Structure 1
Amino acid sequence: MQVKNIKIPPRHEIRPYYQPIISLQSQEIIGYESLGRWIRDGGVESLGPFFQDPDISEDMQLMIDRHLREQAIERVAESPYPSKLFINLKPSWIYRTYKRTGVLPTIELAKKYQIDPSQIVIEITEEEFKGQLQELTWIIELYREFGCTIAIDDVGSGFSNLDRIASLQPKILKIDLNILKKSIVHDGYRALLQSFSILSSQMGASLLVEGVETKRELHTALHAGARYVQGFLFSQAEVDLQQPDAYKGMLAEELQRFGQGQFERYSQLLTVHEGLSTLIHSSAGISNADEADAVLEQMIHNVSDNCIRMYICQGDGYQTSSNYTRNEEGWSKNESYRQANWAWRPYFISNILMMNVQKQGTLSQVYTDLDTSYQIQTFSCALGEGYYLFLDLMI
């Protein structure tokens, strides 16, 4: 059959394929993204271009999609391994269908096949949405009330904007694969990936990183705080579901390697702290900027090579010392930072409180340094008498 010279796949030639989504927490497959495939001429083709073609009517796309959706729900309902099914839905499909019919077909299919609603993940796809966001949010809430999980796909791409994320309050943020790949070689994208990690934790959502093709990309996802991963490193979309522990051995090995690297890095920070302890205990007599600078000048040769900046502040956020910054020629001193206030930085007050309670140094979250654009963390520890040492460490 043809519409506007565009070939429409016959229903008997289409079927869902399943790409596994793996939990880094359990190292097991916890679900599958359902992806449409056209089986013809002895080959398998993606139906992605069909669903993205603006010349194909929405009704035709919906007819094919619902056929695929029903097959996928039936397959997961019959599986001996309880798995989540990630179903891609355009926001315009959800909005217009419900406005026209008052029915959400996915909920009806879940009831028909008696699948636990918690196994259904409604993945809101990347698409420009021209309807009322408040109304869409109310409709999406019907899925949530039924027991489905809400996810947003391609976070970081053009149309998956922050307003939509804030309004829909998803439980899973799925990161656009281009951000993952660019973050490996570009500081700006690395910072963007890290920002979505912080956003997900603030919202009580889990981060799912897709497009993981190499072990290096897996470690990038781990650094970003991903809970779930998906990609060709594990499997492409397959016609059958897989054993839940199919990738457990490989993941356990990579998690051990990642954990060891993190342990070594934090051990180095502990060594820095211990190496400074003698100087710290002798520095309780700070009462002015010159005395604070003298303490830092004693410490310069004891800090690690990745320390790019040192300064001393009081508990109210005001900097007492000069800034000591490492450059190619060595360390330079900048007195203009005396009396700068850093209480506006998100880590500052919380770190001060933690140091006072725990009586030990603390480490900030990773962030991008304003002056150098390096990815850094700030190590801080109390000096006594209300003064605190800060070391900016390049990672």
Structure 2
Amino acid sequence: MQVKNSRIPPRHEVRPYFQPIISLQNQRIVGYETLGRWVREHGVESLGPFFQDPNISEDMHLMIDRHLREQAIERIAAASDESELFINLKPSWIYRTYKRTGVLPTIELLKKYQINPSRIVIEITEEEFTGKLQELTWIVELYREFGCTIAIDDVGSGFSNFDRIASLQPKILKVDLNILKKSIVHDGYRAVMQSFSIVAAQIGASLLVEGVETKQELRSALQVGARYVQGFLFSKAEPNLQQPDAYKAMLEEEIKSFGEDEFQRYHRLLSVHQRLDALINASVHISNAEEADAVIEQSIGNVTDNCIRMYICQGDGYQISSNYTRSEVGWSKDESYRQANWTWRPYFISNILMMNLQKQGILSQAYTDLDTSRQIQTYSCAMGEGYYLFLDLSI
């Protein structure tokens, strides 16, 4: 007599649940991540422990996963709107299945239910992958050629490294929720979050922040340039699909509040321009480091309280003045920065060109200061012929 394994759910008790993914662009539900649930008499349980159990065979994992996947695809195909379905696939499963059979079961299911493949997002999940990355890339490309969107899940959690991102060229980067939570209270993690935003922009991908549970975390997602969000702030995974505009009113209110705060912050930052207007428009003559230092010392009393550093550079990138840095006890002068060259900074040359073209100051994007590890922005403006004043402003 065969003994039933209590850790393995019967197929008839397995159901896909759907957690909404919301676009911050139009504040509507654009898709759902499908998550497995074990629906039993005494309640509903996540299938996470089942899929993570090393004592259950991969064939059993695959059987249950494909059963869930087919149910989810059937549901999304019958939906009245054009919601997308985010399907989690382990790279090892994709790799071994295709190498063994030459078939991609998900594509076969899409054909069976006649669903537009553009509505399917293949999430390559976070796991250690021991196969050949080049071969995995070629297999993933078959999904892309069929019309599916490629995403990488849990970016920043360990195995979803930059090598994999560069090779697979996803259209969506899904950021690990723990990075987001730490970024709220830790500048280092905030910088890492911003780096993901930069990577996404450089490769033509959108940033999806998952695990958003509070309005503060939603604000953090907005600050790093997330296009999509998901999490308990909106909804846990549910058995049914939801109305596309279910969270629109709440998001409109939060985005409006965020926008107003950001405008106020930028107005404060840009007020430095008005306070330095007389200096900027005056005929300033600088021929050596001492004269450059004298210009800064004359203007120190006019800068805003959030200015933490001032210096003057020439158009070729060489700093002519000393560094003037604000501390709790006042301003200090460091002559060792004279003749430092800053053309290696990615914003320097483009900012010089823009200042010359537009004849006005420029405020940089936020970044983490190398010396203090604080979040700052740099305001730069032309002064005199061929000289440029830089002010580092704390955020």
| Shared fold per TM-score greater than 0.5 | yes
**Secondary structure class of the residue paired with 1:270:** helix
Give the residue type in structure 2 aligned to 1:377. Answer: Q
Moved more, 53-62 or 249-258: 53-62
Deviation at 1:2, TM superposition (A): 5.9
The equivalent of 2:234 in structure 1 is 234
Deviations 1:236-264 (A, max 9, x none): 00000000000000000010011111111
The equivalent of 2:369 in structure 1 is 369
Deviation at 1:74, TM superposition (A): 0.6
Give the residue type in structure 2 aligned to 1:315. Answer: G
The equivalent of 1:159 in structure 2 is 159
**Secondary structure class of the residue paired with 1:341:** coil
The equivalent of 2:172 in structure 1 is 172
Moved more, 215-224 or 361-370: 361-370
The equivalent of 1:390 in structure 2 is 390
Give the residue type in structure 2 aligned to 1:35. Answer: L
The equivalent of 2:346 in structure 1 is 346
1:2, 1:133 → 2: CA distance?
A: 40
> Any conservation in 2 of the 1:2–1:8 contact (CA below 8 Å)?
no
Alignment of 1:23-38 (within 5 A): 23-38=23-38
**Secondary structure class of the residue paired with 1:384:** coil
Moved over 4 A (4+): none
2:183, 2:25 → 1: CA distance?
A: 23
Alignment of 1:250-265 (within 5 A): 250-265=250-265
Unaligned runs of 5+ in 2: none
2:45, 2:342 → 1: CA distance?
A: 56
TM-score by length of 2: 0.98
1:188, 1:269 → 2: CA distance?
A: 23
Alignment of 1:164-313 (within 5 A): 164-313=164-313
**Secondary structure class of the residue paired with 2:382:** strand
2:327 aligned with 1:327, yes or no?
A: yes
Deviation at 1:384, TM superposition (A): 2.8
1:6, 1:359 → 2: CA distance?
A: 73
2:54 aligned with 1:54, yes or no?
A: yes
Give the residue type in structure 1 aligned to 2:284. Answer: A
> Any conservation in 1 of the 2:380–2:389 contact (CA below 8 Å)?
yes
Q: Name the count of aligned residue pairs.
A: 394
Deviations 1:191-223 (A, max 9, x none): 111111111111110000000000000000000
Deviation at 1:270, TM superposition (A): 2.3
1:244, 1:340 → 2: CA distance?
A: 54
Deviations 1:134-163 (A, max 9, x none): 000000000000010000000001111111
2:286, 2:338 → 1: CA distance?
A: 14
Deviation at 1:347, TM superposition (A): 1.0
TM-score by length of 1: 0.98
> Any conservation in 2 of the 1:95–1:131 contact (CA below 8 Å)?
yes
The equivalent of 1:8 in structure 2 is 8
> Any conservation in 2 of the 1:363–1:377 contact (CA below 8 Å)?
yes
- The root-mean-square deviation of aligned C-alpha atoms, in Å, is 1.1
Deviation at 1:42, TM superposition (A): 2.9
Moved more, 365-374 or 133-142: 365-374
1:127, 1:86 → 2: CA distance?
A: 17
